[in-house]
Amino acid sequence: MVELDMLIIGGYYGKGSQRGIVSQFLLGLLDDSNTPEEGSANSGGPRFVSAGKVGIGLSMEELVDLSQKMSPHWIRTRVNQLPDQIVWNREKPDLWIPPQYSHILQVRATEVVRSESFKVNYCLRFPRIQAVRYDKTSSDCLTVEEFHRIRTQGSGKLCYESITGTGSRAGLPTRSPRKRKEVSLASEYTCTIQDGVTLLSHIFKGKTLCVMTGGDITRKQTLETAILEHSGRLVQNSGPGTWAIVVTDTNNLRVKNAVAANAHNVVLASWVERCVDSKCLVEWIPDEVLSLVGHDKIVFNNKFDCYGDSFTLPLRPSALPPLLSSMNSHPIPLPTPHELLLVERELYSTNGSAVFRGLQVYCVRGVAKLSKLRLRFYGGSVCDEMSEIVTHVVCVSDRDKDNVEEERRINKRVKSETNRENEENTREKKKESEKSKWNWFEEIDKESKEENKEMEEDVKNGKEIGSEGDREQLNRERGTKELCYVDENWIKECIRKRVSIRSLYQ
């Protein structure tokens, strides 16, 4: 094969891993005629014309090394600043380089073909760089005359020695052509029925089925024979007219793709066998169904629930264990405090029997047991001790209010001192407590405090926060910001009016 020494006269930026460096080169030939172009400012020095480009053949290290040597001399191509010693045609490079700073590439190609994109009107086909000739200068480049002589000698071929029989392989025996194996489809994609079948019934009349069995040819042949004997129509690839795909191996990739596509009914082969045994088109059962679409899916869902239990047919004892095992055994997540609040508002907002719903009531010593029972019966929660979640306190006398306030101050002081001493331990215990068990009343009380804070800001700004009934409903459902002191008559009055009213002690 002929090797051509051609000069780099231009470059193209690479893409991908070669982004940012010049990875393709515009090749040039020495024009020994030295005839300048019309309007050219050429001073008579050697001129080089474009004759192709090349981008493969060099390793990444060789390409980087060549790029480093030439990078100081690259000049960006501009329309109004064309080089004098370089001439190209329609194929213009991103960069060009003066010939005296360039290098010669030793290039191989299969042939020379015509091309109007380059100045010599020819270019190299399938060029490849063999080496970078750092030992040569631009004057050692292949000339245009030599290029055309090589082209005409081989009729455009650059490996003409082997074609004409004058090369080193002349006289050697040629290799006999390899026998091609006849192309055919795998048996699983073709119909296995070779001879005619006897029509036995019309079970599958008007139904187009596709059988997928993986590599089990015997099983495929048995199913296809049964379908044809009972007036069914067979296709080897499912399409728009396919009614159902009959499968035997659920682990087959082709079957998995059919199920994932959700474009056809996919059922097990046992359904075909049941139809043949029953001599009629039987309904599908959950154990046989892998995928259903369209009207068939609607009909099936109207007969079976999501676990495969029939709405009308009795369940066999043997089918109960697999049915239970298929059910989701994960615990049902508990509703959030906000979700519970929404449910309570929906269910108990107008319910007169839930007057104290959402209230946390602490009863001082001396409050009748009947009053506590009334609070619980009408939806309230009675606290055994004074805590932060308490929203109402039932007092027997005015002195009880002072006692409760004193108790609150003592509890607050003790709690603050304990928190200061055991801040780290308290934080860890609180985290563990929130993970294992949480009290949604604390969340509701926190949200209530935030809402009441916003309401107070709105009042300061002169903004309406709602009617008196709205505030009463908010207090009834989520408690109040400050502690309410009430007596036993307040309990009776709320029950009589079917609504929680404000305490006279506030």
- Which residue among 108, 132, 164 closes a domain? 164
Tell me: the pLDDT tens digits for 32-80?
776 554 434 445 578 999 999 999 999 888 988 898 899 899 999 988 7
Q: Please report the pLDDT score of residue 143 as a whole number.
A: 92
Tell me: do 395 and 252 sit in the same domain. Answer: no
| Rounded CA separation 229/211 (Å) | 15
- Helix 468-478 / helix 337-348 crossing angle, nearest 10 deg: 130
The answer to whether position 27 is within a domain reads yes
The proportion of the chain whose per-residue pLDDT surpasses 90, expressed as a percent, equals 19
The answer to whether position 120 is within a domain reads yes
Tell me: do 156 and 198 sit in the same domain. Answer: no
Q: Please report the pLDDT score of residue 191 as a whole number.
A: 58
Tell me: the pLDDT tens digits for 268-312?
999 999 999 998 998 888 888 999 999 999 999 999 888 888 888
Q: Please report the pLDDT score of residue 448 as a whole number.
A: 61
In the structure encoding, which two tokens stand for residue 216, read together?
A: 């089990």
Residue with the bigger pLDDT between 187 and 372: it is 372
Tell me: do 160 and 192 sit in the same domain. Answer: no
In the structure encoding, which two tokens stand for residue 306, read together?
A: 């999501």
Nearest residue to 205 (alpha-carbon basis) of 280, 297, 270: 280
Tell me: the pLDDT tens digits for 203-237?
999 999 999 887 778 888 888 889 998 989 999 88
Tell me: do 60 and 17 sit in the same domain. Answer: yes
The answer to whether position 326 is within a domain reads no
Tell me: do 11 and 44 sit in the same domain. Answer: yes
Tell me: do 395 and 450 sit in the same domain. Answer: yes
The answer to whether position 236 is within a domain reads yes
In the structure encoding, which two tokens stand for residue 260, read together?
A: 């994932």
Q: Answer yes or no: is pLDDT of 371 > 80.
A: yes
CATH of the domain at 65: 2.40.50.140
Q: Which range is least confidently modeled, 3-7, 31-35, 359-363?
A: 31-35
Nearest residue to 129 (alpha-carbon basis) of 55, 208, 226: 55
- Which residue among 149, 164, 179 closes a domain? 164
Tell me: do 8 and 121 sit in the same domain. Answer: yes
Q: What is the mean pLDDT of the chain?
A: 79
Nearest 5°: the CA angle 154, 158, 159 is: 90
Tell me: the pLDDT tens digits for 121-147?
999 989 999 999 999 998 899 999 999
- Cα distances from 332 to residues 328, 329, 335, 360, in angstroms, run 10, 9, 9, 27
Is the CB of residue 119 less than 8 Å from the CB of residue 87?
A: yes
Report which residue type is found at 374. Answer: R
Tell me the three state secondary structure of residue 340: helix
Strand partners, 108: 3, 128
| Rounded CA separation 440/475 (Å) | 16
The answer to whether position 429 is within a domain reads no
What's the gap between Cα 119 and its chain centre? Answer: 51
The answer to whether position 300 is within a domain reads yes
What's the structural domain count of the chain? 3
Tell me: do 129 and 63 sit in the same domain. Answer: yes
In the structure encoding, which two tokens stand for residue 155, read together?
A: 């009729």
Tell me: do 256 and 288 sit in the same domain. Answer: yes
Domain hosting residue 292, numbered range: 187-314
Tell me: do 341 and 235 sit in the same domain. Answer: no
pTM, to two decimals: 0.36
- Helix 488-497 / helix 369-377 crossing angle, nearest 10 deg: 30
| Rounded CA separation 321/311 (Å) | 18
The answer to whether position 176 is within a domain reads no
Is the CB of residue 62 less than 8 Å from the CB of residue 175?
A: no
Phi and psi at 259, nearest 5°, equal: -70, -40
